[in-house]
């Protein structure tokens, strides 16, 4: 029930195209859904996050769409650039009183943007 399933595993997109990454979850207690970007040899960095009371959030070229009834959320990268080539992870958090903020991660999507 703690699992977050992410697809596709890898994605190739032309410069200027749209990258779409999807995640699905089972645990309805999840209340916070961040996306992280990771470059080779680096730690993950927060890209954008959403809460389930919002259906969409946009920051620059990055948009999260959230479908609470379907228990799915997705990341859209508009006007993809070669510098966006990285691995993207979705994650989710279930509130636990006094037990912190641990994240459950999807398996990751490796995005390659071709010039």
Partner 1 sequence: NAGVMQNPRHLVRRRGQEARLRCSPMKGHSHVYWYRQLPEEGLKFMVYLQKENIIDESGMPKERFSAEFPKEGPSILRIQQVVRGDSAAYFCASSPTSASTDTQYFGPGTRLTVL
The mark string for 38-57 relative to partner 1 (x by CB under 8 A, - otherwise) is ---xxxxxx--x--------
Judge contact between 26 and 95, C-beta under 8 A.
Answer: no
Residue 62 interacts with partner 1 (CB under 8 A)?
no
Whole-number Å distance between alpha carbons of 101 and 27: 15
Q: Residue 84 — φ and ψ, nearest 5°?
A: -85, -5
Contact between 84 and partner 1 per CB under 8 A: no
The residue range among 11-19, 61-69, 76-84, 88-96 that interacts with partner 1, by the rule CB under 8 A, is 88-96
Is residue 102 part of the contact set for partner 1 (CB under 8 A)?
A: yes
Rule CB under 8 A: say whether 33 interacts with partner 1.
no
Q: Which stretch binds partner 1 (CB under 8 A): 12-20, 55-63, 78-86, 101-109?
A: 101-109
Q: Are 82 and 15 in contact (CB under 8 A)?
A: yes
DSSP string, 31-78: -BEEEEEE-TTS--EEEEEE-TT-SEEEETTEEEEEETTTTEEEEEES
Decide whether 15 or 42 has the Cβ nearer to partner 1.
42
Mode of pairing for the β-strands spanning 109-114 and 10-14: parallel
Chain residues in the site for partner 1 (CB under 8 A): 6, 31-32, 34, 36, 41-46, 49, 89, 93, 95-96, 98-108
């Amino acid at each position: 029930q703690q699992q977050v399933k992410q697809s596709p595993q890898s994605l190739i997109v032309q410069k200027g195209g749209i990258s779409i990454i999807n995640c699905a979850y089972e645990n309805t207690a999840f209340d916070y859904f961040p996306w992280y970007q990771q470059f080779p040899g680096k730690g993950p960095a927060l890209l954008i996050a959403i809460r389930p009371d919002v259906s969409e959030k946009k920051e620059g070229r990055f948009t999260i769409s959230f479908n609470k009834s379907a228990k799915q959320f997705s990341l859209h990268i508009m006007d993809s650039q070669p510098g966006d080539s990285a691995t993207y992870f979705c994650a989710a958090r279930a509130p636990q009183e006094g037990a912190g903020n641990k994240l459950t991660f999807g398996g990751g999507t490796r995005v390659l943007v071709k010039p």
